[in-house]
Each structure stands twice: as structure tokens, then as C-alpha cells.
Structure 1
């Protein structure tokens, strides 16, 4: 092996090591994989339950003679079609990774000035390399979309267009950066588009399953569940705001020069108060979502979420009174986001599914 090949191999190995360093610091795979999995599954299960409770039963009730043959006791079960669900998970995971990459481009100058310790700023990895990786993920997403349904690409395109506008600060950077709340509210809109990708992906997956079983298209019934989907869209949007405020609410000695936070802008008490109000609004949204489903799901969700809400508010008050670390609002907000998302049917579905297996 000549010297150039050896140097080339060493360079590839070093680049991989540098990329791992970048991921560990800016996009930890374990934590983000778990978050995206819950986020994707919650949307999938919620949409599936809506199809069952609002559409399939009504369809089958008009075709009584076909019910026992086609469904029997399987009516409340949601088909978990892994070879299509896994690609959907990867597509959503890569969207969140792309958001991280675009943030590196968008915030490069500011990070260079105020956060020189970050991997891009200290030369661990270049923007050019991240750009190439981002393009590679788009190609992978397009390939995976064809596994589900090629029409999904149109909805992914909406995400990419909005992501581009975010990177350009909607071409009003100076105006936006002076208004941190409007900045956050406008950027979090992308959560609605990501949720749309999950729901459309779910629709295509379920439609392909039902077409095989019932020879019946569900597209004409999509309008029937639009109202039921509003709580999910609203929850995911507000969860983006909760995450943003939670990670930017800190103790006084944790504030960084040049870094705008909500604890600086509003004061810690007001930031915590707004977080608690958002928890309460999301609590109502989850219950509204569950009201579209089954009584058992509603009762279970209410119990779990009520306990979570009380504990969350307790720790937020403790954060204020005892002047605790800013990790408290960040971690509590993260836990709240996970539990609220999972209570849109995922936890209940898993519990009742396990119970049904134990009884059989």
C-alpha cells in the first residue's frame, strides 16, 4: 500500500472520528433516536386510532355482512407494518438532523463570536462537510419515501422549503433577531409540517394495508378526521415552544454573554409561569385528542397526564424557590413533551394491547 493510500485511509478514519465528536456534542444519536421514535410512533398510533374510531367502524357498520369475515375482533388493532414504518422513522429522524445542520449555517457567525467552543467553530468539522452530509440525507429520504408512497415527497418538500426560509431568517434577519418570541414562534411552525409528513405517511401506510384487506380507498374519508387531527398539530407546535423556552430558562450565573434567553428577556418567574401555562394548555389538547377515541384511553391518559402535570409544576416552583440549575426546566420540559406525546394514544394502546395478550 503506497503512502497516498495510507494517508487517504487515515483521513477517512479521522473524518469519521470528527463526525462522531460532532454528533456527540450537537446531535446525540441515542437521545434523538428515542425522541424521534416516540414522536413518530405517537403520530402513527394517534392517526391509526382515529381511522379506527371515526372511519373504519362507520364503514364496516354499513357493510355488516363483511365484518366477521374481514375483521372480526381485530377492529381496534392498528397494523404495525415495520418495513414501511421504519423508513418513516428514518425520514423524520433525518429531518431533525437536517434542522441541526441548517442551524450550523444560520448561526455560524454568532457562534463564532459567542460560542467558539462548539465543534464547527473549533474546526472539528466544516460547514462544507455538513452540507454534503445534509445532501446525502435528502437523497436517502427520497429513496425511502418510495417505499411508503412516492407522493410523500411532496409533503417532505414543504418541510425543506420552510427549512430553507428558516436558514435565511425569512429574509428579515435583523428584524427577527430583535424579537426573540416572534423568532421562536415562526421557527417552530416547521413542527406542523413535520407532523404533516408523519400523518400523510401514516395515511399511505394504512391505506395500502386496507386496500389489501378491504379493497377500499381511505382518501375520500380523510376530511372526516381533520378535526380530530387538530389537537395533535397544536400539541406538536406548542411542544416545540415548550422545548425552546425550557432550554433557554436558566439560573442567573448560567447565563452566557451574547446569548439571548427567556429568563433574561422575561425574568425567571415569568418564564416559568409561561411554561406552566403551556403545560396546562397542552394538558387540555391531549384530553381533546383522546376524546375522539375510546373511554378507556381517555381515562388512562387523564390519570397519567394529571400526575405528570402536578409533578412538573412542583419542580418548576422548586426551581424558582431554591434557585436550582437551569437543567430543571430543560429536563422537566423534555419529560413533559415525551409524556404528553405518548398520551395521545401510544401509552394506552401499548397497555391495552399487552393486557389483551395476557388475557388470550
Structure 2
């Protein structure tokens, strides 16, 4: 019971379970439906099913459309992100003891063994579920293999831990592999084309927001810099802002390609959101003490992803606009 209490403290502060579980399903379903709708798998096809003898309509639909796979897929995203959170806390333990001593692990309010045992069970359950139920198990294996390499700094801690850019280059592509896990499920389930522009854009669609956020959270005004290594400390905040500005427009390009055939109003809304964020970048370059740029990036991302989800829902209900 004491172990569970300590884990509860950890989750409350570092990884709120219910919101993150919802996030896992949002990520999975957004990519899943964007791929399906762009390949012509529309509402009618998603709703049709044949009655299984001796089964109710609900069970028949559940079986034929592999709803179990969707449930496990969303859980896998949640599980993997939770594992990465735990792995990061282990990797950054020494630094956190100096700079973030109040966090659950450095403060001793949760023990390393608590997290090790929990992570082992979590990974085991997730991989077992994928092995039994998921047709794209190989991609789950690739995802967790890459995550395992991240957890041990790709066996190059002496190089990567000391280099923020090298850590970014080696760790951030995990979002691409996460996207491929979802896309592979959709492709296998509905026998979709493997190599086309839709799948390529879907691979990148959540990679750029993750990359933009990762860089933005480590951009500070010169007088705010501390012992903590940031991109702005290494390259100057103006160059970093210019870089995320370019990434933001690359990001919106992938989104526009994916929603162009679904909803033209969404295209305009996505562009407006990007223009707003770009203006915030310019403001920050003039006065970096005005606000933390990551707060604006987070707002941009929330609005963007809400628009993408709304586009999917509207298309499923009323069709193309």
C-alpha cells in the first residue's frame, strides 16, 4: 500500500493519469482517422458491418471493425509516453537533485524501485496486449526498442548527455516512430497504400509540434538563464526563435495537406492560427522578457490539434466542406 501511495504522488505531479490517457487516445484517433479519411475510408465504410450469427449488433460491429485494436492502440500511446516520463526521471536524476529537488523522485517521495517495478509491469502488459491482439505488433516492438535505447542514451551517455543538440537529434524522432505505429495499424486494417503523400504527411504531423515544443521550452531571455542548459544559452534566443518559426510553417504545411480534401475552412483557420503564433515569435524577439515563448507555442498547439480533431468530426458527420 505504501508503494501505491508513493506512485500516486508521482502520477499526480509528473503524469496525471486520466488526462494523459485521454491524450493517448486523442493522438491515436487523430492520426488514425486522418489517414483513413484521406484514403477514402469514409463514414459509411466505417459504420457498415455484417451481423455475426448469435451475436448482437454491438458485438458484431466490435469484432468486424477491430475496436479492440483501437482501444489497445490508444492505450499503447499512453503507456509508452508514461514509460518515457519515468525513463527521463531516471536519466535526469542527478541533474534534478540539483535543480529540481522538490520533484517526487529527487525528494524521495517516490523510490526508484517503485518506478522500476511499475514500469516493468506496464511495459510487459503493453507488449503482451500488442502481441495477442495487434496486427502491427512488429511496429510496437520497434517503438519499444527505440524507447529502450533512449532510456540508456543509445549506450553513448558520455556524449549525448553533454550535448543538448545531440540529445534532440537522437531522441526526438521517437515521435515519428510513434506515428508510424498508428499509421501501420490503419494501413494493415484497411489494406491501404503504404507509400504515398498522405502517409508521409501523417508521419510528420505530430513530429513537428513535439519538436517545436521541445525547443521552445528551452528558450529563455538572457537574464533568465541559469546552470540549466538551454538552446538559447547555446545559440542565442533570436536564432532559436527563427528556427522554431521555420518549423512552425513546415508543421502547418503538413496539416494543410492532410485537411485540404476534407475541409477548406479548416485550412483557413490553421493558417490564421499560424500567423498568430508567428506574430508572437516576432514580439518575443523584440522583448524576450515579455513572456515565456513556450506558453504561446502550447496555445498554438492546443488550438491546432483541436482544429484537426474538429475537422475529422465534421467530416464524419457532414462530409467535405
Residue 284 (structure 1) aligned to one of 253, 271, 274: 253
Residue 39 (structure 1) aligned to one of 5, 10, 27: 27
Q: Number of aligned residue pairs: give it.
A: 303
Q: Which stretches in structure 2 are left out of the alignment for 5+ residues?
A: 49-60
Aligned 1:1-360 pairs, distance under 5 A: 12=1, 14-52=2-40, 74-75=44-45, 82-145=67-130, 148-149=133-134, 151-204=135-188, 206-207=189-190, 218=191, 221-223=192-194, 225-257=195-227, 259-291=228-260, 294=261, 296-297=262-263, 299-322=264-287, 323-326=289-292, 329-341=293-305, 343=307, 346-355=309-318
Deviation at 1:90, TM superposition (A): 0.9
Q: Which stretches in structure 1 are left out of the alignment for 5+ residues?
A: 1-11, 57-72, 208-217
Cα separation, 2, equivalents of 1:261 and 1:123: 26
- Change over 3 Å in CA distance of 1:46–1:96 after alignment to 2: same
Deviation at 1:252, TM superposition (A): 4.0
Report the structure number with the largest CA radius of gyration. 1
- Change over 3 Å in CA distance of 1:199–1:180 after alignment to 2: same
Aligned-partner SS, 2:101: coil
Aligned-partner SS, 2:44: coil
Cα separation, 2, equivalents of 1:308 and 1:119: 36
Cα separation, 2, equivalents of 1:158 and 1:140: 16
Deviation at 1:96, TM superposition (A): 0.2
Deviation at 1:152, TM superposition (A): 2.9
Q: What's the C-alpha RMSD, in Å, of the aligned pairs?
A: 2.7
Deviations 1:24-66 (A, max 9, x none): 222133543343332111111112113326xx9xxxxxxxxxx
CA contact (8 A) 2:216 2:297 kept: yes
CA contact (8 A) 1:40 1:198 kept: yes
Q: Higher relative contact order by CA 8 Å / sep ≥ 6: 1 or 2?
A: 1
Cα separation, 2, equivalents of 1:265 and 1:276: 18
Aligned-partner SS, 2:106: coil
CA contact (8 A) 1:235 1:282 kept: yes
Greater CA drift, 122-131 or 35-44: 35-44
Greater CA drift, 172-181 or 37-46: 172-181
Greater CA drift, 235-244 or 329-338: 329-338
Q: TM-score, normalised by structure 2?
A: 0.83
Cα separation, 2, equivalents of 1:77 and 1:300: 26
